[in-house]
Amino acid sequence: MKSVASCVESREYPWVLALGKTCPREHGNGRFGRTCLQWLMARVALFDPCYMSTLRPQDIGFARHILEALGDQVTMIDGRCCGQPAFNSGFHDEARGVGRQLLKAAQPHQVVVTTSGSCTSMVRHYLPTLFEGSRAAGATSIASRFVDFASYLANHPRLDKLTFKLEGVVTYHDSCHSRRELHASGAVKGLLARVDGLEVRPLLYEDECCGFGGTFSVKQPEVSVAMMTSKLDDISLTGARIVVSSDYSCLAHIESGARGIGMQIQGWSLAELLARALS
Amino acid sequence: MSYRERASREMRIERPSATVTPIMRKLVADSEAMLSRGPADARQRAGAARSYAIDHLEELHQQLRGQFERRGIGYHRCVTAEDAVAKVRELLGDAKRVAKSKSMVAEEIGLTHALRAEGIDVLETDIGEYIVDIEGRGPSHITAPALHLNRARIREMLARTGAELPDDDPTRLSRYVRDVVGDFFKDCDAGITGANAVVASSGRITIVENEGNVSLGASHPKLHIAVTGLEKVVADEAAALSILEVLAPSATAQPLTSFSHFLADPMPGQQRHVVFVDGGRSAILTDPRYRDILKCIRCGACMNGCPVYRAAGGLSYGSPYMGPIGAIISPLLWPDGRFADLPFASSLCGRCTESCPVGIPLHRMLLDLRGDAVSGKQAADFKERMAWKGWAASFGGATRARAATALARVGLRTFGRTVRPPGPQRDDPRLLPDPSQEHDPELLLKAADRRSIIPVAAIVEQPPADLPGRFAHRARQLGVEVVTEYESRDGDRVLTAAAGIASTGSVLLTGDQAARRPLLAANRVVVKLAAESIVAYPHNLESHLGDGDALILTGASRTADVEKIIVRGIHGAEDLLVLLD
């Protein structure tokens, strides 16, 4: 049986991060290079994860706005799920069936930007382990085109053309999947540092989980709440009222806990913050 | 009882997090600092040493048998826990008083209870184990058994045995137990210890400890039995040293433990046996998905960093093995389903995998185990299975999925403000998320002042580059005096070191154990060390180890079993002086 633990943690992003820097078809000629680039651009897809379209439908608009401001032509992928909820609960068959739908939808695209770190890591690392033989190879090839929003943006050749300006104070929650599975914390922090007038107050225990963990928050509510409370303590000590993260799943958990105990704290996804800061 | 029931009970009644979380936050930071001292490839080296061991397990055991024969050490291999207990019982013969030191495998096979049931007087000689033995609920951490108890509770526990302690000062508590244990050692028939590694090429047993109780248990009684797991065999001394190089930094943020023993031939008139317990390990070895878990060196780094462990403590796992390693190895060692819910006791944050010094992909194994629990019908009830089938059906096509999310959105908009998540517990403060909630940019400007203290970045220390200078620097950090001349005092014992280690400030003592007895009795130990025999890192020590008994001494005997506060001078001298020439 194939094991999840044997998954390859690839840091290679074919096409995706090389975008515009080197022409993927080795023409060497500027004019052809440009054509190639446009051909690629037309195929940038933006994946709206299922939980975000349920919990925060407006955020995908923010992400799209930023990509279009960068000059990308965006195709939407929605109505799909990476299969992570079932996969993390041990239901691999169900996860495979649902994940296959996403891979099918992503097949024609060379770049699939995903607005959630945990979905990106699910697709890139774990989804291919659910398939056998030639299907696994196909799944790996499609999965490697997925990139999280922050890493895509941070490596975008035209990022310097955008200016971000927003007065205020936020704190940054480093989501576990962005941090440990995708190693994207640096990208997020780099993007936040580009916002003029924004003070980002670091958490004392930035590396600690907020206690969400998908179905973990339902299956082990007591432990999950204890972890969340400790995260809320840390957030409230910074004085900031807004928490920014590249994963809205963590933020939804933090927000729902904060509202429940009467704390005035809002969770903004990176896309929302950047879109509001775009001048 | 399920993990959830145990965890909520612990959190409600014992509140382990209040004691554990602050200790672990500091420990993890210190561990990282200790590992960053290098060598840079320490983790890879340790991981490779363990990989080699599990890939060549039978071969190494074969070789080890020959070496044990040469040295006169008994080799015993037991398939089940019951066999192992029976074997130990048989080896003990008519021994009545047994001093036991820390061993996770002994815990796994329930050795102490089984021997006591046979009327043998077994004393837990590790201070932490002694305390949790009184409490009677087992250890809550692999290396710090009494971590869940604060000093007041420990004083209460000791009072149960009739101890009259005027206060709960950690030094007083630790020394009280030391004295009880010390008295027991004066008249005992056998010592039982664990083993951190057994070296196949030379037949030596590697055991690490801080207090000195293993030194006593392995050298004092006429009989020494080491109980350990089948997988603990390693190829050679270099492999064992590579493991030591990461073990103590990851476990307790020490450069090395105070005592690292390489036990060789038994002393004249002494018997030595090693009992290897299989207990399901061979079965794990045949499953490619999980065999890497046998690389584990039981340092506890995975639980030190684990937010679930910190919140609910180690006893919630209900298994001898707790934390992420416990959540993986418990269902594998006991495949009957009693621990099938442990792999679900994780938010999959990946902290364990990040901190594992031998590179085990712990959180990914949890995912595999969850899959097994579901397909083996050991987890998830009928309702949950139906729910996932329904979920898979609604996300099986885009139109259906869009309809499902729209429906969920409407539901959350309507009820999200008021309804709490499903589950019969009234104290869950969380509300369901509300998709229609507007975010208010005004909040950006409404920040309060920062109330947390931002830690000042530690000054990057620059230890001297030359080996003797670095040795002196590191040794002094451990409270060891390093001098070039000294005035002798009454009660001094003078020993000569075979080598020193610059990165850890340790000295290597070789020669038979009897010659080292003074170490445990003296007021002050003076070790003579030649500057040219100092090596850079522990793994460079191989050529100095000789073929007999060896002991790497790193600072004075100590314990940190009460709230992780260091108390020096347990079984052994409090003062250590190194004479460098």
pLDDT at B425 over 80: no
pLDDT digits (tens, 9 = 90+) for A128-184: 999 998 899 999 999 999 999 999 999 888 899 999 999 999 999 999 999 999 999
Mean pLDDT of B144-163: 92
Domains in chain B: how many in total?
2
Q: What pLDDT digit, counting tens, does each position of B47-57 carry?
A: 999 999 999 99
Q: Using a CB–CB cutoff of 8 Å, tell me whether B462 touches chain A.
A: no
Partner residue opposite A241 with nearest CB, options B361, B391, B443 = B443
* Amino acid (one-letter) located at B353: T
Report pLDDT digits (tens) over B269-283. 999 999 999 999 999
Q: Is the pLDDT of residue B365 over 60?
A: yes
Residues B298-346 pLDDT 10s: 999 999 999 999 999 999 999 999 999 999 999 999 999 999 999 999 9
Task: Sort out which chain B residues have CB atoms less than 8 A from A7's CB and list them.
Answer: 364
Q: Does A278 touch chain B (CB under 8 A)?
A: no
Q: Report CB contact under 8 Å: B450, A85.
A: no
pLDDT band at B574 (very low <50, low <70, confident <90, very high): confident
B533 occurs within a structural domain: yes
Q: Which one has a higher pLDDT value, B73 or B425?
A: B73
- Helix (H), strand (E) counts: chain A: 14, 8
The ipTM estimated for the assembled molecules is 0.91
**Which pLDDT band holds residue B453 (cuts at 50, 70, 90)?**
confident
A3 pLDDT band, cuts 50/70/90, is: confident
Indicate the pLDDT class of residue A23, thresholds 50, 70 and 90.
very low
Over residues B207-232, mean pLDDT: 93
Question: Is residue A20's pLDDT more than 80?
Answer: no
- For CA atoms B132, B138, B142, B148, the dihedral sign is negative
For residue B335, give how far its alpha carbon lies from the nearest alpha carbon of chain A (Å). 17
A79 exposed, middle or buried (CB, 10 Å; 0-12, 13-18, 19+)? buried
Of B220, B251, B282, which residue is a domain's last? Answer: B282
Q: Is the pTM of this model over 0.95?
A: no
Residues of B in contact with A79 (CB under 8 A): 397-399, 401-402, 405
CB nearest A98 (choices: B353, B396, B444): B396
Does A227 contact B347 at a Cβ distance shorter than 8 Å?
yes
Residues 335-364 in B contacting A (C-alpha not used; CB under 8 Å): 344-351, 353-354, 361, 364
| CB of B4 less than 8 A from some CB of A | yes
Whole-number mean pLDDT of chain B? Answer: 91
User: Does the beta-carbon distance from B451 to A222 stay under 8 Å?
Assistant: no
Q: Indicate yes or no: CB of A55 within 8 angstroms of CB of B354.
A: no
pLDDT surpasses 50 at A22: no
Yes or no, beta carbons of B399 and A216 under 8 Å apart: no
For testing contact with chain B, the best of A223, A238, A265, A274 (most B CBs within 10 A): A223
Chain A residues whose beta carbon lies within 8 Å of the beta carbon of residue B375: 90, 92
pLDDT in tens, A52-93: 999 999 999 999 999 999 888 888 999 999 999 999 999 999
* Domain presence at residue B517: yes
| Cβ atoms of residues A244 and A192 within 8 Å | yes
> Of B253, B282, B311, which residue is a domain's last?
B282
What DSSP string describes A80-94?
---SHHHHHTT-HHH
Q: Do B433 and A238 touch (CB under 8 A)?
A: no
Contact between B349 and B309 under an 8 Å Cβ cutoff? The reply is no
Q: Which of residues 181-200 of A touch B (CB under 8 A)?
A: 181, 199
CB pairs under 8 A between A and B: 250
Measured between alpha carbons, how far is A86 from A95 in angstroms, rounded to an integer?
5
Interface test with B, best of A119, A173, A222 (most B CBs within 10 A): A222
Q: Is A154 helix (H, G, I), strand (E, B) or coil?
A: helix
| pLDDT for residue A37 | 52
Question: In which domain, by residue range, is B205 found?
Answer: 3-282
If you average pLDDT over residues B227-240, what whole number do you get?
96
**pLDDT value of residue B487:** 86
Q: Residue A31 pLDDT more than 90? A: no
Residue A1: which pLDDT band, with cuts at 50, 70 and 90?
A: low
pLDDT confidence bin for A11, thresholds 50/70/90: low
Q: Cβ–Cβ of A180/B354 closer than 8 Å?
A: yes
| Tens digit of each residue's pLDDT (9 = 90 or more) over A219-268 | 999 999 999 999 999 999 999 999 999 999 999 999 999 988 889 999 99
Q: What is the fold, at CATH topology level, of the domain defined by A162-277?
A: Rossmann fold (3.40.50)
What part of B 299-328 touches A (C-beta under 8 Å)?
307-308, 311-312
**The sheet that has B121-124: what strands, in order across it?**
B73-78, B271-277, B223-229, B190-193, B97-100, B121-124
Handedness of CA A173, A177, A180, A186 (dihedral sign): negative
**Shortest Cα distance from A29 to chain B (angstroms)?**
41
Is any Cβ of chain A less than 8 angstroms from the Cβ of B443?
yes
Provide the pLDDT confidence category of residue B288 given band limits of 50, 70 and 90: very high
> How many other β-carbons are positioned within 10 Å of the β-carbon of residue B366?
26
pLDDT band (50, 70, 90) for residue B176: very high
Asked if B17 has any chain A CB less than 8 Å from its own CB, the reply is: yes
* Predicted confidence (pLDDT) per residue in A180-208, tens digit: 999 999 999 999 999 999 999 999 999 99
Q: What's B64's domain CATH number?
A: 3.40.50.10420
How is chain A split into domains, by residue range? 4-154, 162-277
Q: Choose the final residue of a domain: B230, B255, B282.
A: B282
- The verdict on a CB contact (< 8 Å) between B395 and A78 is no
Q: Please judge whether A5 and B367 are an interchain contact, meaning their C-beta atoms are less than 8 angstroms apart.
A: yes
Contacts (Cβ under 8 Å, ≥6 apart) of B71: B203, B264, B265, B266
Residue A4: name the closest of A110, A84, A114 by CA: A84
pLDDT level of residue A30 (50, 70, 90 thresholds): very low
With respect to residue B427, please indicate whether it lies within any of the assigned structural domains: no
Report yes or no on B137 lying in a domain: yes
Question: Given an 8 Å threshold on Cβ–Cβ distance, is B421 in contact with A218?
Answer: yes
- Cα separation, B569 vs B550, in Å, equals 21
Percent of chain B with pLDDT over 90: 74
